Amino acid sequence: MKRIILLLFLLSSCLFGQENKFAISGVVTDCQTKKAIPGVTIKLIGRDKSLIETKSDFTGHYVFSNCFKDNTDYIISTNVSDSIGRGAKIKYGICPGEITEKYGYMNSSDKIKFTYFDTLSSKKYDICLIEILGCGQPPTFYFKKNNIEFSSFEYIRNLPENIDTTIDCFVGFLLVHKTWVLEISGHSSSDEDDKLQLSKDRAKKIYKLLVDKGIEPGRLKSKGYSDKYPMEFRNDSGEAIQKSEEETNEKSRRVVFSVLRKDYIPINDRHNKLSGTITDCKTKVVISDAIIKLVGSDGTSINTTSDSNGFYIFDSTKINVNTSYLVIASTPFSGQRYFDSSDKKKFNTLEGPLVKAVLDFCLYKNKGCTIRLPTFFFEKNNSTKYVTDTISMSINDLYQILLDNPTFVIEIGGHSGANEKKKEKLSLDRSNFIRDLLIKKGIEEERLVAKAYTDSKLYEYSDDNDNIVKVTKESEKNQRVSVTVLRKDYISPKAIRIE
């Protein structure tokens, strides 16, 4: 009886969260959608064979507290009920019968292990579960040698052996899963000619068939792999088995499908949104993976990226009312291909929530050059008097560049000439002078790094033949402040990041 009472006490302590310095908590989510999964049983198993269970609440959270013995090893695992996440039967267009797609979730394969000591701080262990899908394999299409004519196909059992029927059935599947984006992968065999082009043509053929049947082009990406991935054969146990070269080549001439994303927004669902397309200004070709940023007058910042068709979209529920917005398009820093958009789009929600807006951008190709940053020249032995009256315009230019590129962190490098006095202090004072001007204009201090170089770096410029020329140590051009971009990943503490 005493043991039963003790067990009930420990169990109630864990489940009802009595205060304790140490606790284990976390959130249970779907690995793919990141949505919370309520009702999952979480087990806390001790090396001393103790077992305590709790369930995730409606927000997916779970917690264990007051349940631990000093110097004891524990494992956290899950026990998912068959009813959690199980879906109803679905019919795919003309496909025979109905199929149960969602069979719930698999138990977590990652066993969380830790050893408890009375000096240990509380821990947070999030758990994600993989959904069990029963929709079966997508179709595989096989082709004749050195040809884009079909030879055979594999798909759902009991389906009439007809290519058009197979395509129609798969279209029905895609119309049910309207947020899925697929890669159509074309392959060739080692004994074929012009393997790469042939694999691309096979993928494009299926792409066209699906688009002609009503699948939106933005959901499909075709790619040819040549003979890089020959067909692999496996037995019922999943073990690899060898086939003849002829049979391997025959099955390698194929098109298969893979899911790239599950976040596509169909064209007819794009209402109450801010959206647009990013293209190359000269060629009009769409630009994928461009970064589109909304900067609000309330200090918020929202990012998204363009898809494979150059399309981007912001849900209006993420856009605040009574706010003015600046919209900027750019490409990632790594291997930057285009300049940031020179035309800044603006809109506001001062008269009420955003209903629908379309803002398209075009970007100019960056042919290996960088954004031109100003250089500031100073009078001898002075950190505030500049050579000409154009510095205010240069400051405004730099200020505009920083506004247009809110993720830039720059170095403001102060330099001195060989004939100047107190070079270290003079260089730093010049750097801080420019830095203070930018801060007064509203640029965050964290984006501005002041550094003194004294006379260690001579001024350089390009002549008419694009040759780099260094001035002499005595040149007045060395009495300057130079600006360089250190990073392009700054996020304002005031910004709201939406992934």
Q: Give the count of alpha carbons within 13 A of 443, CB side only.
A: 27
Domain count along the chain: 4
Residues 6, 126 within the same domain: yes
**Other CB atoms within 10 Å distance of the CB of residue 356:** 11
Q: Residue 324 corresponds to which amino acid? A: S
Query: Per-residue confidence of the chain (499 residues) as pLDDT tens digits?
Result: 444 444 444 444 444 434 446 788 899 988 877 788 899 999 988 888 889 899 998 888 999 887 788 888 888 888 888 778 766 666 655 555 565 556 567 777 666 888 887 777 788 888 888 776 555 567 889 999 999 999 888 875 555 567 777 888 788 888 878 888 899 999 999 999 999 999 999 999 999 999 998 899 989 999 999 999 999 888 777 778 888 999 999 999 999 998 888 778 777 665 557 888 888 877 788 888 888 888 888 888 888 888 877 888 887 777 777 788 888 887 764 444 565 565 557 777 666 666 667 888 888 765 544 466 788 889 889 988 876 544 445 787 788 888 877 888 999 999 999 889 999 999 999 999 999 999 998 899 999 999 999 988 888 877 666 677 888 888 888 999 998 888 877 777 765 333 3
Domain-terminating residue out of 192, 226, 261: 261
Residues 482, 384 within the same domain: yes
Residues 9, 122 within the same domain: yes
Q: For the domain that residue 473 is a member of, what is the CATH number?
A: 3.30.1330.60
174 in helix, strand or coil?
helix
What Cα–Cα distance (Å) separates residue 351 from each residue in 293, 347, 354, 358?
A: 22, 11, 9, 18
Cα separation, 370 vs 485, whole angstroms: 10
Q: For the domain that residue 298 is a member of, what is the CATH number?
A: 2.60.40.10
Token pair, residue 342, equals: 């020179």
345 is a domain residue: yes
Structural domain range at position 336? 270-363
Cα separation, 375 vs 3, whole angstroms: 79
Q: What is the pTM of this model?
A: 0.41
Cα separation, 163 vs 151, whole angstroms: 10
Name the burial class of residue 425, with classes exposed (0-12), middle (13-18) and buried (19+) by CB atoms within 10 angstroms of its CB. middle
Cα separation, 441 vs 490, whole angstroms: 18
Q: Which residue has the tokens 């087990």?
A: 43
